[in-house]
Amino acid sequence: MEQEPNKIKKQPRTSGIWIVVAVLIAGISLIACTFIFTQGFFTYKRSGANAGITATGSASCDFESDLIVWRGSFSAFGVTTDAAYSTIKHDAEMVKNYLTENGISDDEIVFSSVNISKHYNSIYNNEGNYAGDELSGYDLFQNVCITSSDVDKVEKISRDITGLIESGVEFTSDSPEYYYTKLDELKLQLIEDATKNAKDRIDLIAAGTNSSIGSLTSANLGVFQITAQNSASEEYSYGGTFNTSSRNKTATITVKLNYTTK
């Protein structure tokens, strides 16, 4: 007897619907759990150690340097140490005379000690091969530093040392450095201004969120940045920038405050 082929039983449509319902319920449960967890996290942040309002204020000020430092150096050569010292001493007198004739006072001039080094010439044999070095004399070097509150005067001299060079002195001029003697007072004023700026921002945020300001919990001072005025290329540094190459400068400071809210 031939067996009838097995008939495939059709699943009722109602079972498919229940599967879809189960998936939807699981999805809704997951979303609900995520929402509850997230709300708990932000509630913790609001009631935890980071509660309150934090704002960073800044202040800047343009100022002009009132102290200039100008450095230069000169050298001399002699076959013997006595001859070299005689030349460097003569050149030092020439430098000093040039400075005093241009209005620099004695107390604004400081000469360093003299540095000496041996000067050697390379020797080559008849075949052109290197055969060693031979002492030919001595090189002497000396530095001079001018520090003055008369910025205009020293700045002018540093730009024109033609007369000194024409006298036979091998003088090399460095770029002037500019400083400000009242920097501490300027910093205190900037801290005060930056603190007020930060508090004004906190008050503004509180007013916009219908909050009341409580007590100060922390205050952090940023690093001072002193850059050249109107400089687009000079960047701030993590450890602070202190420009000495520009006469006109800009000082900037930041203050970060945190207040509790009620």
With a CB cutoff of 8 Å and minimum separation 6, the contacts of 190 are 59, 60, 61, 224, 251, 252, 253
Report pLDDT for 32.
37
Residue found by looking up tokens 């020797």 in the block: 123
Under the banding of pLDDT at 50, 70 and 90, the label for residue 167 is confident
The span from the CA of 122 to the CA of 120, in Å, is 7
At residue 90, does pLDDT exceed 70?
yes
What does the pLDDT look like over 20-67, one tens digit per residue? Answer: 334 333 443 433 333 333 332 222 234 444 569 999 999 999 999 999
95: which 2 tokens? 């430098």
Q: How many other C-beta atoms are found inside a 10 Å radius of the C-beta of residue 163?
A: 12
The span from the CA of 191 to the CA of 189, in Å, is 5
**Predicted TM-score (pTM) of this structure:** 0.73
Report pLDDT for 132.
86
